[in-house]
Chains A and B, each alone.
Chain A
Amino acid sequence: MLNDSFFLKFIINFRCEALAIFRNYQELIYPILFLILAIVLFPLSLSADPFLLKKISAGIFWVVVLFLVLLMLDQLFQNDWKEGDLEQLILLPNELSFVLFIKLLVFCLTLCASLLLMTPILSLCLFIPGIALKTLYFTILLGTPTLIFLGGIARALTLGLRQSGLLIVLIIIPFYIPVLIFASSAVSLASMGLSVGGPLAWLGVLMILSMSLAPVIISKILRFGIAFS
């Protein structure tokens, strides 16, 4: 299967999905602004005491990232559904999982890239020490794909509903807890100067599992036609 035409298809799909997201960049900017504001609020409201913030900053950062992802999940597949693109995709059973994977991957990469750009500034606000910055980057790279791919499942389940925003949140938050625990504990371990191999490895495991299984599950959900009833 891994021949030229496969790569060509990958590139065409990837390019078109990326273009579709970037031409709709407003939808990306507002959540990022929300992230910045929410994180800046913490030092303002708690106190700008470095010792206090150092203890809780990792948790704060990851909770806010989690809310950001929840905010953005509503957009995932939304346009494809409204424009009837998903219906066309469901009728191409060989392609469905593959295209879904690319859709999620592009979504995830845009989110990761914007998070990575913001992190150095935001970590200053929260007094995350310089030695933990590298680990913070790693947790973002390994953690957000899991959040997005798992979220895709919840999104597919709620596609046909009118008021789906809050329902997605309720469905998916329990599944986000492991990522939250491992990611924030990795960052706080790193800021104490301890080894972070364990939590990062677990994040990697979760990422590989969700990235490989979620597209298949979503394609099954869509093919059952739950979204239509």
Chain B
Amino acid sequence: MKNVLTVEGLAYERNSRLLFKQLTFQLFPSQILHIVGANGSGKTTLLQILTGLRTPLIGKVMWNGISIEKNNINFTENLLYVNHRLGLKSTLNPVENLYLYLSRRNLIHKQSKQKVIHDIYQVLEQLNLRDCSKRLLMQLSVGQQRRLSLAKLLLIKADCWVLDEPFTSLDNAGVAFLSALMEKHSAEEGSIVFTSHQTNYSLSSGIKKIFLDPKPC
């Protein structure tokens, strides 16, 4: 068993409303899981449970057959979570943001410092953000910030991607770019979980889907 995400009998309740119960699935390398649901149906909550940020009411999440609470270090090293709120500091510019994130993941060493900066600029070039590399994040548009969060996917090698609404506020070129990126990742034996409320994306490879019912308020 290598890099398998297993979910067993998951249930979660928010404001005394049951969001889901008996949720069981397995995600093998090079599989893509699309979680579909209306606003407020618990997509983000489910992702937070999958990453271990929230603890489920019942059930467990396992990575390589060991529960993620015990297998914490190994799991989080292989995990890349792009959250809805971006996880980037609005008072830093794109380069500083990425540099800080890389250093927190222990990917910067003294000798490779120049190379890392070079890589960051290259990725920004790829994402069409080179011109904004010296501007603070809060001066960028929402779409540009969203694009910047994709830079993490390009810079960091991780087996399991968890993406919360990655397609929102991206333009057509951005959506195409991200789809290509996800297909490439899946071809390289990586697994992806992502959410969105649209049901179909032009990803050519087969996608698993989970539909969450809309909940009456």
Q: Interface on A for B, CB 8 Å cutoff?
A: 4-5, 8-9, 12-13, 16, 19-20, 23-24, 79-80, 82-85, 87-95, 99, 224-225, 228-229
Given contacts A23-B136, A92-B105, A228-B48, contact A84 B96 (CB under 8 A): no
Q: Which of chain B's residues have a CB closer than 8 A to the CB of A89? A: 104
Asked if B85 contacts A8 (CB within 8 A), the reply is no
Are A225 and B108 in contact, with the CB atoms below 8 A?
A: no
> Does B92 touch A at the CB level, under 8 Å?
yes
Query: In the complex the two chains form, is B110's CB within 8 Å of A87's CB?
Result: no
Q: Are A4 and B87 in contact (CB under 8 A)?
A: no
B85:A82 contact, CB within 8 angstroms: yes
* Interchain CB contact (< 8 A) of B92 among A9, A19, A84, A95: A19
| B interface residues, Cβ below 8 angstroms from A | 48, 51-55, 72-73, 76, 79, 81, 83-92, 96, 99-101, 103-106, 108-110, 113, 136
Find chain A residues with CB under 8 A from B81 CB: 87-88, 91
Q: Is there an interface contact between B110 and A8, defined as CB atoms closer than 8 Å? A: yes
Query: In the complex the two chains form, what is the Cα distance from A16 to B98 in whole Å?
Result: 11
Q: For the complex formed, measure the closest distance between the CB of A84 and the CB atoms of chain B, giving whole angstroms.
A: 3
Asked if residues A9 and B48 are in contact (CB atoms below 8 Å), the reply is: no
Q: For A92, what are the chain B residues with a Cβ–Cβ distance below 8 Å?
A: 76, 104-105
Residue on B nearest A4 in the bound complex, by CB: B110
A225 near B54 with CB under 8 A, answer yes
Residue from B85, B104, B109, B136 with most neighbouring chain A CB atoms (10 Å): B104
Using known A-B contacts A87-B83, A87-B85, determine if residue A225 contacts B76 with beta carbons closer than 8 Å. no
Chain B residue at smallest Cβ distance from A16: B100
Report the Cα distance A4→B106, complex, angstroms: 12
- In contact, A91 and B53 (Cβ under 8 angstroms): yes
Cβ A19 vs Cβ B96 within 8 A: yes
